[in-house]
């Protein structure tokens, strides 16, 4: 479910299509009779309220100005129907005749509305308004969501008059939790019923912390929200599990970045390991180039250090939008070269170095190897790519069947790309990002690779496609796929059996490569 024409991640039509895909997948859960019916409908109501408000205050006022009066009137009429149905759903319960009738009608109206927008109205508006206007409106669309109402009302909002809307609809988004009357603790969970119980407990814990949607916030606001590590720590506390996993030492070094400044390199020395210099693993954190830092991925580094007996180092690279592409990639490459040159200073063996990372950390691991190969420099002994982003395109089935996944949904993925590539749309086609576009002969230079993918993850399909292309290029490649888990599961080994298994697989892959390079 994607637009039939090219867009950029921050364009308003791209953002609208992401919202549509999320709600459509939630409708499919309801039709299949799976998941938590009440929570799914509450989440849909929340999403549609924000979406409708943003469209009516940002997009629709432009339509009459370009000769789309009829389309404007039709869209507003459909929004009115949607709001009225959401009010019914809010005051009735699943199983009641009125609820089920309203839900069936809501699906019908929304799907018709989506068809009209995506197939006719948005293409027409783009052709008349131009690409730059779509990007401008995209920023306004997200800003409108930040101040949008979160409960439907059939008589609001009137476009352009948001500041005059009375009552609940006028309250800003930072009061969402009060307005949802206790339901806010369920807004960020995965209500599909497709997660394993252990994974479900983690996303429930994250949601219980009351985060606002990352994908509508400014980057500095989003970074203050609870991350995936906070959810794991909450489950650990509930189960009386001590943490973090102990290692012999954790030290922060200051090393050069690629911009003339410095970055932190965190060094984890494991509790056990053989005598002499130890192997080294550079582990690169995720967060879509925008969110999170080395603290967020602390558990992964500790687990890998103890499971491999290797020293794990993690660079705290610069992030977008403050430092746009390719700053993050350049910092990681600079850090890798520094580690190889200085491994002995912290007890590491420069002849046995591996690389890996999670999400865009996995992307940057592969990109670093490609750059080293291009420069004729020695490559890591092995790489591990955990649910990597391998193309900026909306690639594969997972963009639809996991569009509503948590903690990473399709809208958040676009938000990350929007900020990472701001002012540099060509970056999306850079081979450091578009790994699926790298020719086979270049891929053939990569070291033995383990790719780990998760079922409920929008990046699942593109990670699996990278593995297929590596295999076709003759690279020794292993794929480990985990059903019933989500993006960001890898660091949750303390409370999630499949995360422990994934970390063990990564450890085996790396230690086998180190054994092959020893002596």
| Residue with the two structure tokens 């060509």 | 426
Q: Please tell me the predicted confidence (pLDDT) of residue 185.
A: 79
Q: Please tell me the predicted confidence (pLDDT) of residue 498.
A: 98
For residues 392 and 426, the answer to whether their CB atoms sit within 8 Å is no
Question: What span, in angstroms and rounded, lies between the C-alpha atoms of 383 and 392?
Answer: 21
Tell me the average pLDDT across 219-232.
96
- pLDDT-derived band at 157 (thresholds 50, 70, 90) equals very low
Residues sharing a CB contact under 8 Å with residue 409, sequence separation 6 or more, in sequence order: 18, 22, 215, 402, 403, 458
Annotated catalytic residue: which of 14, 20, 113, 487? 487
Please indicate whether residue 159 or residue 205 has the higher confidence score (pLDDT): 205
Q: What's the mean per-residue pLDDT of the chain?
A: 91
For residues 23 and 44, the answer to whether their CB atoms sit within 8 Å is yes
For residues 86 and 152, the answer to whether their CB atoms sit within 8 Å is yes
Strand order of the sheet with strand 348-358?
249-256, 262-269, 311-315, 278-284, 348-358, 383-386, 449-456, 477-486
Output the 3-class SS for 266-320: EEEECCCCCCCCEEEEEEECCCCCCCCCCCCCHHHHHHHHHHHCCEEEEECCCCC
> For 369-412, how does the pLDDT look when each residue is reduced to its tens digit (9 = 90+)?
999 999 999 999 999 999 999 999 999 999 999 999 999 999 99
Question: What span, in angstroms and rounded, lies between the C-alpha atoms of 99 and 90?
Answer: 9
Question: What span, in angstroms and rounded, lies between the C-alpha atoms of 223 and 25?
Answer: 27
Tell me the average pLDDT across 150-167.
38
Tell me the average pLDDT across 246-259.
98
- pLDDT-derived band at 1 (thresholds 50, 70, 90) equals low
Using alpha carbons only, give the angle 474, 477, 480 rounded to the nearest 5 degrees.
Answer: 155
Question: Domain map of the chain by residue range?
Answer: 12-156+163-179, 249-517
Within 394-496, residue ranges assigned H as helices are: 398-401, 410-420, 440-443, 460-472
> For 289-313, how does the pLDDT look when each residue is reduced to its tens digit (9 = 90+)?
999 999 999 999 999 999 999 999 9
Tell me the average pLDDT across 74-103.
92
Tokens of 30: 């309801």
Please indicate whether residue 172 or residue 59 has the higher confidence score (pLDDT): 59
Q: Please tell me the predicted confidence (pLDDT) of residue 3.
A: 87
* Percent of the chain surpassing pLDDT 90: 84
Question: What span, in angstroms and rounded, lies between the C-alpha atoms of 407 and 488?
Answer: 7
Q: How far is CA 52 from CA 2, 82, 177, 250, 396, in A?
A: 19, 9, 19, 48, 28
Q: Are strands 477-486 and 449-456 parallel, antiparallel or unpaired?
A: parallel
Using alpha carbons only, give the angle 168, 169, 170 rounded to the nearest 5 degrees.
Answer: 95
Q: Please tell me the predicted confidence (pLDDT) of residue 139.
A: 94
Correct CATH for 249-517 of 3.10.310.10, 3.40.50.1360, 3.40.50.1820, 3.30.559.10: 3.40.50.1820
Poorest-pLDDT segment among 11-15, 180-184, 281-285, 495-499: 180-184
| Residue with the two structure tokens 């720590």 | 233
| Residue with the two structure tokens 């977008």 | 320
Annotated catalytic residue: which of 359, 398, 414, 461? 359
> For 326-374, how does the pLDDT look when each residue is reduced to its tens digit (9 = 90+)?
999 999 999 999 999 999 999 999 999 999 999 999 999 999 999 999 9
Q: Please tell me the predicted confidence (pLDDT) of residue 150.
A: 57
Task: Return the percent helix, strand and coil in the chain, to nearest 5.
Answer: 55, 10, 35
Tell me the average pLDDT across 187-206.
97
Annotated catalytic residue: which of 45, 314, 457, 509? 457
- pTM confidence score: 0.93
* Percent of the chain surpassing pLDDT 70: 92
- pLDDT-derived band at 179 (thresholds 50, 70, 90) equals very low
Residue 229 has pLDDT above 90, yes or no: yes
Tell me the average pLDDT across 125-148.
93
Using alpha carbons only, give the angle 36, 185, 140 rounded to the nearest 5 degrees.
Answer: 100
Other Cβ atoms less than 10 A from the Cβ of 263: the count is 21
Tell me the average pLDDT across 191-201.
98
Within 61-218, residue ranges assigned H as helices are: 69-91, 97-116, 122-129, 131-146, 176-179, 197-208
Question: What span, in angstroms and rounded, lies between the C-alpha atoms of 351 and 511?
Answer: 13
For residues 262 and 236, the answer to whether their CB atoms sit within 8 Å is no
314 is catalytic: no
For residues 124 and 68, the answer to whether their CB atoms sit within 8 Å is yes
487 is catalytic: yes
């Amino acid at each position: 479910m994607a637009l039939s024409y090219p867009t950029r991640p921050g364009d308003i039509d791209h953002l609208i299509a992401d919202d549509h895909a999320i709600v459509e997948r939630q409708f499919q859960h309801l039709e299949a009779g799976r998941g938590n019916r009440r929570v799914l409908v509450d989440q849909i109501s929340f999403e549609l309220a924000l979406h409708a408000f943003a469209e009516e205050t940002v997009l629709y006022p432009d339509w009459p100005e370009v000769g789309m009066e009829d389309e404007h009137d039709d869209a507003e009429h459909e929004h009115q129907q949607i709001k009225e149905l959401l009010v019914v759903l809010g005051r009735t319960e699943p199983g009641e005749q009125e609820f089920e009738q309203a839900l069936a009608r809501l699906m019908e109206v929304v799907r018709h509305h989506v068809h009209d927008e995506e197939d006719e109205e948005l293409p027409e508006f783009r052709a008349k308004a131009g690409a730059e206007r779509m990007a401008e409106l995209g920023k306004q669309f997200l800003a409108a969501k930040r101040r949008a109402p979160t409960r439907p009302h059939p008589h609001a909002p009137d476009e352009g008059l948001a500041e005059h809307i009375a009552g609940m609809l006028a309250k800003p988004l930072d009061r969402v939790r009060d307005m949802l009357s206790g339901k806010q603790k369920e807004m960020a969970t995965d209500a599909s019923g497709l997660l394993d119980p252990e994974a479900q407990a983690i996303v429930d814990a994250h949601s219980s912390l009351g985060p606002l949607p990352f994908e509508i916030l400014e980057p500095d606001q989003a970074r203050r929200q609870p991350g995936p590590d906070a959810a794991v720590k909450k489950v650990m506390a509930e189960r009386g599990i001590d943490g973090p996993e102990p290692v012999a030492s954790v030290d922060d070094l200051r090393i050069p970045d690629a911009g003339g400044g410095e970055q932190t390199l965190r060094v984890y020395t494991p509790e056990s390991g053989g005598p002499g210099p130890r192997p080294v693993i550079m582990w690169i954190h995720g967060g879509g180039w925008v969110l999170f830092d080395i603290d967020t991925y602390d558990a992964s580094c500790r687990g890998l250090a103890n499971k491999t007996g290797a020293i794990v180092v993690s660079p705290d690279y610069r992030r977008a939008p403050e430092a746009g592409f390719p700053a993050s990639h350049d910092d990681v490459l600079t850090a890798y070269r520094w580690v190889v040159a200085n491994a002995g200073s912290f007890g590491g063996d420069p002849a046995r170095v591996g690389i890996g990372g999670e999400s865009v950390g996995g992307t940057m691991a592969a990109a670093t190897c490609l750059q080293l190969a291009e420069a004729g420099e020695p490559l890591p002994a092995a790489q591990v790519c955990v649910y990597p982003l391998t193309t900026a395109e909306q690639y594969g089935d997972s963009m639809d069947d996991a569009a509503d996944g948590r903690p990473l949904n399709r809208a958040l993925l676009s938000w990350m790309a929007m900020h990472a590539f701001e002012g540099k749309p060509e970056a999306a086609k850079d081979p450091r990002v578009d790994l699926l576009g790298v020719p086979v002969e270049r891929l053939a230079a990569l070291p033995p690779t383990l790719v780990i993918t998760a079922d409920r993850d929008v990046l699942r399909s593109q990670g699996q496609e990278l593995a297929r292309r590596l295999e076709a290029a003759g690279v020794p490649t292993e794929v480990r796929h985990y059903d019933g888990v989500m993006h960001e599961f890898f660091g949750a080994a303390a409370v999630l059996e499949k995360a422990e298994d994934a970390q063990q697989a990564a450890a085996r892959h790396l230690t086998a490569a180190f054994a092959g390079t020893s002596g």
